[in-house]
């Protein structure tokens, strides 16, 4: 159970285990071919699972980009998908996020956009 904005969120079942290696050693990359395919209106998207944020850190591996900026950039794409398919379901995975700056941003900023 997680309490967010005064609401209790409960996972109906724990049906997966997500393990990651090298937490904090991650730069977000979204494949250009994938993006092109998802921007086609004739390819409807019904469900989006966002994963990988849990291994991000406040400062990206390249030493200059902020993890939050990378997350916000990815949400520009999500916003576009939602404009094409307003009824799309979005599942955000952030279990085991260790970086507190990243976790806070996911819950307080991205959570509101869901």
What confidence tens digit (pLDDT) does each residue in 83-99 have?
Answer: 888 998 888 887 778 88
Domain that holds residue 74: 20-113
Is residue 2 a part of any domain in this protein? Answer: no
- 3-state SS, residue 97: coil
| pLDDT (0 to 100) of residue 48 | 84
Task: Tell me: pLDDT of 33 over 70.
Answer: yes
Number of domains in the chain: 1
Is residue 15 a part of any domain in this protein? Answer: no
pLDDT tens track for 35-54: 888 877 787 788 888 888 88
Residue 82 in contact with residue 48, Cβ under 8 Å? no
Is residue 12 a part of any domain in this protein? Answer: no
Is residue 82 a part of any domain in this protein? Answer: yes
Is residue 13 a part of any domain in this protein? Answer: no
Mean pLDDT for the chain overall: 77
Distance (Å, whole) CA 15 – CA 12 = 9
Is residue 1 a part of any domain in this protein? Answer: no
Which residues have C-beta within 8 Å of that of residue 111, sequence separation ≥ 6?
Answer: 4, 5, 92
| pLDDT (0 to 100) of residue 95 | 79
Is residue 5 a part of any domain in this protein? Answer: no
């Amino acid at each position: 159970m997680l309490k967010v904005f005064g609401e209790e969120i409960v996972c109906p079942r724990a049906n997966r285990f997500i393990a990651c290696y090298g937490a904090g050693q991650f730069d977000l990359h979204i494949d250009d071919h994938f993006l092109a395919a998802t921007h086609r209106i004739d390819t409807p998207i019904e469900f989006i699972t966002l994963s990988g944020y849990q291994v991000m850190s406040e400062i990206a591996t390249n030493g200059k980009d902020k993890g939050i900026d990378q997350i916000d950039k990815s949400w520009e794409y999500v916003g576009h998908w939602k404009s094409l398919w307003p009824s799309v379901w979005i599942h955000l995975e952030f279990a085991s996020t260790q970086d507190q700056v990243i976790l806070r941003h996911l819950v307080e900023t991205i959570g509101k956009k869901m």
